[in-house]
Amino acid sequence: MNVETCTPSPACHQSLPSPAMLRQAIPSHPDLDERIKMQRRDICRVLSGEDSRLLVVTGPCSIHDPVAALDYAQRLLQLSEAVSDQLLLVMRVYIEKPRTITGWKGLAYDPQLDGSHDMAEGLRQSREVMRDIVSMGLPVATELLNPVVARYVDDLLAWGAIGARTTESQLHREMVSGLSLPVGFKNDTHGGIQVAVDAINSAAHGHYCFSVDDSGQPAACVTPGNRDTHLVLRGGASGPNFSPESVASASTLLAAAGVAPAIMVDCSHANSFKNPERQPEVLSSVIAQRRGGAEALRGVMLESFIAAGRQAFTGTELTYGQSVTDGCLSWERTEQELLRAAQALRAPMSCSSLQSVSVE
Ligand SMILES: O=C[C@H](O)[C@H](O)COP(=O)(O)O
Ligand SMILES: C=C(OP(=O)(O)O)C(=O)O
């Protein structure tokens, strides 16, 4: 082994605008800032149980085409009005993907999907699509994967996720402790819930940490701590974890850690064995459990786009509105399932309806 291979230096690919520069180029505005503040507050009220609606974070596994994302947002906005008495809809606008090993890492990294990795353009398109969706009136959710990327978009977000692969990471817990928005920590890919409970506890504390400021300068920061966090059950290598027994055991872990019992179920990923068509089964179980009195269940997540399924991108023309990462439910199915969920939550409770609800 020689010295060069021991100490490789990163090759700088492209210089980037600072977060302040991008915010200036694609600005929010005072009305939008106020709207985002209200969206965050509404989500927090649902998560705390003050508002009895169910939070629904739905949208594509990843954004690759801003036009299709805006098309989906327009449909979701209309649906949102029809179900707003029971469901609080928030759109998944995922611009970064954590990969198990390698693969396309999202719009922020490679907006042309051709390996050219124009990351400045990726950041620009990412911020712009989020800003346009918030301007339409929909709350925006994303996975906070790279803390540097988060600086470019966090003012636009109503909700954030820390994914299964990063929930144990101190950097992500520090990042969340400095954010003024609700954030869900997922259980890890093996199904471990305690790491997410520990993350919730860690993020509630203030931290001293290394970061970059708005001008892009490295900075030593101190964070205030974030208590608006909750658990997301996404299943794991050991199988799904949305059954009443799994929810009860997760609630016990949260209570033992002195953490509020607020749980979201991710209907996708290991809870649906990565088969998008199984997401409705998971959703039905959550609705049934809610109607059966499982108050800790405060939200669900769906992977949904315009066209069903997923596609590989190999230089051929892409199918409009179809995921290039994990498979999604079609728009028609999503609409049908969310209307059905809202209807089920509206129906008056009776002993017979309680007996007929199906669960995992
Ligand atoms: O949600 C998306 C994927 O499940 C996650 O990014 C991992 O993807 P991969 O296993 O295809 O890399
Ligand atoms: C990557 C995701 O989920 P998880 O972290 O649960 O794998 C996702 O929601 O896109």
**Closest Cα to residue 139, out of 160, 124, 122, 123?**
160
Q: In angstroms, what is the span from residue 194 Cα to ligand 1's centroid?
A: 22
Closest residue to atom 3 of ligand 2, CA basis: 163
Q: In angstroms, what is the span from residue 279 Cα to ligand 1's centroid?
A: 16
Which residue type does 309 have? Answer: G
**Cα 79 to Cα 209: distance, rounded to the nearest angstrom:** 41
**Closest Cα to residue 171, out of 212, 121, 110, 137?**
212
Per-residue model confidence as pLDDT tens for the chain (360 residues): 455 555 567 788 889 999 999 999 999 999 999 999 999 999 999 999 999 999 999 999 999 999 999 999 999 999 999 999 999 999 999 999 999 999 999 999 999 999 999 999 999 999 999 999 999 999 999 999 999 999 999 999 999 999 999 999 999 999 999 999 999 999 999 999 999 999 999 999 999 999 999 999 999 999 999 999 999 999 999 999 999 999 999 999 999 999 999 999 999 999 999 999 999 999 999 999 999 999 999 999 999 999 999 999 877 799 999 999 999 999 999 999 999 999 999 998 765 444 444 434
Tokens of residue 302, six digits:
């769906």
- Annotated domain spans of the chain: 20-347
Closest residue to atom 2 of ligand 2, CA basis: 163
Exposure class string for 301-340: b at 16+ Cβ within 10 A, else e = bbbbbbbbebeeeeeeeeeebbbbbbbbbbbebbbebbee
Largest CA distance in the chain: 74
Residue with structure tokens 């970064």? 96
Atom of ligand 1 nearest to the CA of 102: 12
Q: Three-class SS of residue 212?
A: strand
CA-CA-CA-CA dihedral for 259, 261, 262, 265, to nearest 10: 120
Angle formed by the axes of helices 331-346 and 66-83, nearest 10°: 20
What percentage of the chain exceeds 70 in pLDDT?
94
**Cα 247 to Cα 241: distance, rounded to the nearest angstrom:** 7
Q: Is the pTM of this model over 0.80?
A: yes
DSSP label of 37: H
Q: Is the ipTM of this complex over 0.90?
A: yes
Atom of ligand 1 nearest to the CA of 268: 1
Q: Tens digits of per-residue pLDDT, 29-48? A: 999 999 999 999 999 999 99
Q: In angstroms, what is the span from residue 97 Cα to ligand 1's centroid?
A: 7
Top CATH class of 20-347 equals alpha beta
* Phi, psi of 186, rounded to the nearest 5 degrees: -85, 155
Atom of ligand 2 nearest to the CA of 167: 5
Give the ranges where 3-48 is alpha helix by DSSP (H).
3-6, 19-25, 30-48
- Best residue among 186, 232, 242, 303 to mutate for probing ligand 2, ranked by most atoms within 8 Å of CB: 186
- Best residue among 99, 102, 162, 279 to mutate for probing ligand 1, ranked by most atoms within 8 Å of CB: 99
